[in-house]
Amino acid sequence: MLVHEQLTSDGAHLDLRIATAATRPTSGHVLILVHGLPRATGMGRQAAGLLPELAEHLAAESGWTVATGTLSGVGTSTGTFSARRWREDLGRIIDRMDDGSRRISLAGFGFGGSLSLAVAADDDRVRSVATFAAPAHLEPWCGPAATFRERVMEAGVVGDEPPLPAEQLWADVMDVDPLAAVGRVAPRRLLIGHGTDDVEVPPSDARDLVAAADGHAELRLIQGAGHQLRADPRMVATLLGWLDRHR
């Protein structure tokens, strides 16, 4: 079963979908799926398009409650992207899903994985984090500040207000610092997944995240997979296996 809600975060209206199992007992676990940052032209409307379906499938197979929201500027959510605003958005989603007894985990894709690590590092309510194709080194991933801002504009993750000036927008993303964050998340449970043929974020980034976790992270390399892992059945199986081991 999939329920649609709307949250307010720093003036932006975020779409949130919450999936629960219809035919099996629901556990006390909550998984929040976090989409990445689209950079291709016009992809801001579609960046989270597959996640509600994935949430339903994961909920049905695991018995977990699985939530996924579109952060500022993505899908039909209002607002404009910045790393600070996305941190606040994800924190707002965690607030919504936290009832004081649930055990909350995050699973992020691409930059959403890097963001999940940064948020979890500062929020003890998050018990575990899984990342897939997450960049560990944001400077080469972003490229020059002016180019990065242009890509944000072209992707359409922009609402009524323009994005921050280029240098400020770039510096804001650098503050996410996944390598520092993953060390602070440990020894909480960590899963680092990556495709071996990812040309956008090299698989070496996954190894660097695992190394920065000082032995507290599982590494799963998906042979032949590229950057887009959300619909890869091997990713789904990997994530389901990780969820099952929480029991």
Residue by residue, pLDDT tens for the chain (247 residues) are 889 999 999 889 999 999 998 776 667 899 999 999 988 887 777 766 789 999 999 999 999 999 999 999 998 899 999 999 999 999 999 999 998 888 999 999 999 999 999 999 999 999 999 999 999 999 999 999 999 999 999 999 998 889 999 999 999 999 999 999 999 999 999 999 999 999 999 999 999 999 999 989 999 999 999 888 888 899 999 999 999 987 6
What CATH number is given to the structural domain containing 157? 3.40.50.1820
Which helix or strand (DSSP H or E) is residue 107 part of? strand 103-109
Count of other CB atoms within 10 angstroms of residue 41: 11
Question: What's this model's pTM, rounded to 2 decimal places?
Answer: 0.96
Which helix or strand (DSSP H or E) is residue 132 part of? strand 126-132
- The distance from CA 83 to its chain's CA centroid, rounded to whole angstroms, is 12
- The distance from CA 10 to its chain's CA centroid, rounded to whole angstroms, is 19
The pLDDT of residue 25: 61
Residue 53 bridge partners (DSSP): none
CA atoms within 13 Å, Cβ hemisphere of 151: 15
- The DSSP 8-state label assigned to residue 44 in this structure reads G
Cα dihedral: 115, 117, 122, 126 (round 10)? 110
Total domains present in the chain: 1
Q: Rounded distance, CA 4 to CA 117, Å?
A: 26
The parent domain of residue 229 ranges over 2-244
